[in-house]
Amino acid sequence: VEPAARLGDLVLPEEWRRTALGLASSADHTVLYLQGPYGVGKETVAEALCREAGLGLLVIDLERLLAADDETFETALDLAAREAVLQNAALLWQGFDGLLEDDRRGRRARFLGRVADAVRDSAGSGAPALAFLTGNADWEPSDALHEAGFVRLAVPLPDARERAELWRQALAGSGLEEDVDLAALAGKFRFTAGQIRDAAATARSIFRVSRVSRAARARDPHGPAGNLPLDDLLAASRLQSNPRLAALAQKITPRYGWDDIVLPRDRKDQLREICNTVKYRARVYEEWGFGGKLAMGKGVNILFAGPSGTGKTMAAEIIAGELGLDLYRIDLSTVVSKYIGETEKNLSKVFAEAETSNAVLFFDEADALFGKRSEVRDAHDRYANLEISYLLQRMEAYEGVVILATNLRKNMDDAFVRRLHFAIEFPFPNDGDRLRIWSGLWPEGVPRSPEVDLEFLARRFEVPGGNIRNIAVAATFLAAADGGVVTMAHLIRALQREYQKMGKVTLPGEFGEYAGFAAR
């Protein structure tokens, strides 16, 4: 690689740049382990440091080299050291994580020894005495590199202000850099510089495909150019998030909007406040400095409490849709384990993957795991309390959005609830709310008889929105098999079936003038 990057042009803290330059130019520190996730700029930093030192840079794919046999591996190490001297270049060993994860052949010690020897030999001959290792693991050598001079230098993740600048650079010429709230976008997606560039490129690819599709439908070989749509940018950003969370949780595609949920005005206002907290937390915590007052707890932890069917899952979907984030529902049956320590391991996996997924985590029926901490009477109680304490710790360390849903608010430990940012009660719907639910859930294509009396159903039968939806769907299926028009007879029959499922009994007198439609 011919070093072209300049250290001063990189979007990095000024103090960090000065530290990196000082270490690279110091005779006492000649092996730099640049640590950080994909896209953070490890190779670019090495390139800029070599430019400052007047060196070239040789990049070696260590993971590919590890697939070779031992003789080839050893020969490659010798050739790389020789080539660095001949080309007046530093060596960058890319993918050092592979050697840390699997060392069954004992190559790590030999590799580190050869790196140390090469650095010392180069320094003694007046040749460049600088080498780089890159990886994501938090690692320190035991003794192999101490004599050669080793420093682990963590390349920092960009903060919200730096992410906004990176988005501006990546979106240059797209037509979005002036229209999009870059600060809000940077606050939603905690990306590295490489991920931001990839997301912008992916968004352009999505836009090109959709433009060609529109052009084909219009029989226009070129189609309208236009600006890059915000929806394409959000879709591309979600694609850049870690997809492995899907192996631990169920991904839910948000289908609902603000008009779909029926709640008291104050509750809806609280949901909007949650969205604003996520959108503007970068401004409050980083630009305005409030983050310096908080050791932890910079994520958004929320409790939804209320009877089943009152809209808790729908509200989670609305929040994720409003923010443009993925929503994952955690199946507690796969998390909670009767074996000591397994629940913590499962929770650790979920939160570890979520850190890079920029996702909303939704723990449904959370009271099964997050109930009141019990009095310790035996070992099982003690470990159950440890599980809850561990969850609190991971939630406070997580910088994303966590939603806990429970049917029994009173079972939640008070100390637990105090550490949440929001707690919203979802009330059982009254007559007026039930009528709004009955009236608003019908698609335009469903044929309904004029005799359908939704006001009667809302007034007479006290069921939450989830059950109302089930009744409407079941009635529509009955109508599809019986004339194709939804009537009161279909609704009464569907309501009875729903009551049977709920374990309730209906009496003919409850149906009033429609008692003739009730099943005998």
Q: What is the pLDDT of residues 320-352, one digit of tens each?
A: 999 988 899 987 666 776 666 777 888 888 888
Strands (DSSP E) contained in 306-443 are: 326-330, 359-363, 401-406, 422-425
Residues belonging to the chain: 520
Strand partners, 56: 89
Amino acid 314: pLDDT: 95
Amino acid 373: pLDDT: 47
Q: For residues 47 and 90, what is the distance between their CA atoms, to the nearest angstrom?
A: 9
How many angstroms from the chain centroid is the CA of residue 245?
8
Amino acid 268: pLDDT: 95
Q: pLDDT by residue (tens digit) across 508-520?
A: 777 777 777 776 5
Q: For residues 511 and 507, what is the distance between their CA atoms, to the nearest angstrom?
A: 8
Nearest of 393, 334, 333, 329 to residue 359 by alpha carbon: 329
- 8-12, 34-38, 412-416: range with lowest mean pLDDT: 412-416
Strands (DSSP E) contained in 260-356 are: 300-305, 326-330
CA distances from 355 to 79, 106, 186, 402 (A): 40, 32, 15, 12
Contacts of 215 (CB under 8 A, 6+ apart): 221, 222, 223, 224
Amino acid 221: pLDDT: 45
Amino acid 376: pLDDT: 46
CA distances from 314 to 406, 444, 465 (A): 14, 21, 10
Average pLDDT over residues 369-376: 50
Average pLDDT over residues 119-143: 74
How much is the pTM?
Answer: 0.74
Contacts of 352 (CB under 8 A, 6+ apart): none
Q: For residues 154 and 254, what is the distance between their CA atoms, to the nearest angstrom?
A: 37
Instruction: Report CA torsion sign: 31, 29, 6, 50.
Output: negative
Tell me the H-state helices in 32-170. Answer: 42-53, 62-66, 70-86, 97-101, 107-125, 160-170
User: Using an 8 Å Cβ cutoff, are 34 and 49 in contact?
Assistant: no
277 vs 246 pLDDT, higher one: 277
Amino acid 28: pLDDT: 60
- Stated as kind and residue range, the H or E segment containing 55 is none
Average pLDDT over residues 151-164: 86
Amino acid 222: pLDDT: 44
Nearest of 199, 183, 197, 192 to residue 157 by alpha carbon: 192
Average pLDDT over residues 125-140: 78
- 18-32, 86-100, 165-179, 218-232: range with lowest mean pLDDT: 218-232
Three-state SS at 425: strand
Dig out the tokens for 60 from the structure. Answer: 């070696």
Contacts of 88 (CB under 8 A, 6+ apart): 55, 56, 127, 128
User: Using an 8 Å Cβ cutoff, are 406 and 365 in contact?
Assistant: yes
Nearest of 402, 408, 404, 416 to residue 308 by alpha carbon: 408
Amino acid 224: pLDDT: 44
- The model's confidence at residue 487, banded by pLDDT at 50, 70 and 90, is very high
Amino acid 315: pLDDT: 96
User: Using an 8 Å Cβ cutoff, are 41 and 192 in contact?
Assistant: yes
Question: Does the pLDDT at position 51 exceed 90?
Answer: no
- Stated as kind and residue range, the H or E segment containing 93 is strand 89-94
User: Using an 8 Å Cβ cutoff, are 89 and 55 in contact?
Assistant: yes
Q: pLDDT by residue (tens digit) across 54-82?
A: 888 999 998 888 888 888 988 998 898 88
CA distances from 97 to 58, 62, 106, 137 (A): 19, 9, 15, 6
- The model's confidence at residue 219, banded by pLDDT at 50, 70 and 90, is very low
Dig out the tokens for 358 from the structure. Answer: 């920029």
Amino acid 280: pLDDT: 86
Residue 237's φ and ψ, nearest 5 degrees, are -65, -40
Nearest of 288, 517, 226, 276 to residue 401 by alpha carbon: 276
CA angle 287, 356, 189 (to 5 degrees): 40
Pairing of strands 422-425, 401-406: unpaired
Please name the residue that has the structure tokens 């270049």: 89
Q: For residues 235 and 207, what is the distance between their CA atoms, to the nearest angstrom?
A: 11
DSSP3 helix / strand / coil % (the chain, rounded to 5): 55, 10, 35
Please name the residue that has the structure tokens 């001063």: 8
Amino acid 216: pLDDT: 45
Question: Does the pLDDT at position 4 exceed 50?
Answer: yes
Dig out the tokens for 362 from the structure. Answer: 């939704």
User: Using an 8 Å Cβ cutoff, are 135 and 38 in contact?
Assistant: no
Amino acid 226: pLDDT: 55
Amino acid 374: pLDDT: 47
Amino acid 476: pLDDT: 95
Q: For residues 408 and 387, what is the distance between their CA atoms, to the nearest angstrom?
A: 19
Average pLDDT over residues 256-282: 92
Nearest of 144, 146, 191 to residue 167 by alpha carbon: 191
Question: Would you state the torsion angle of the CA atoms of residues 366, 369, 371, 372, taken in this order, to the nearest 10 degrees?
Answer: -150
Q: For residues 115 and 92, what is the distance between their CA atoms, to the nearest angstrom?
A: 11
Question: Does the pLDDT at position 270 exceed 60?
Answer: yes
User: What 3 state SS string does 13-30 have?
Assistant: CHHHHHHHHHHHHCCCCC
Average pLDDT over residues 301-313: 92
Q: What 8-state DSSP symbol labels residue 296?
A: S
Q: For residues 48 and 141, what is the distance between their CA atoms, to the nearest angstrom?
A: 25
Amino acid 217: pLDDT: 46
Q: pLDDT by residue (tens digit) across 222-249?
A: 444 456 777 888 888 888 776 677 777 8
The half-sphere exposure of 360 on its side-chain side, counting CA atoms within 13 A, is 28
Amino acid 515: pLDDT: 74
Amino acid 223: pLDDT: 41
User: Using an 8 Å Cβ cutoff, are 459 and 431 in contact?
Assistant: yes
Instruction: Calculate the average pLDDT of the chain.
Output: 81
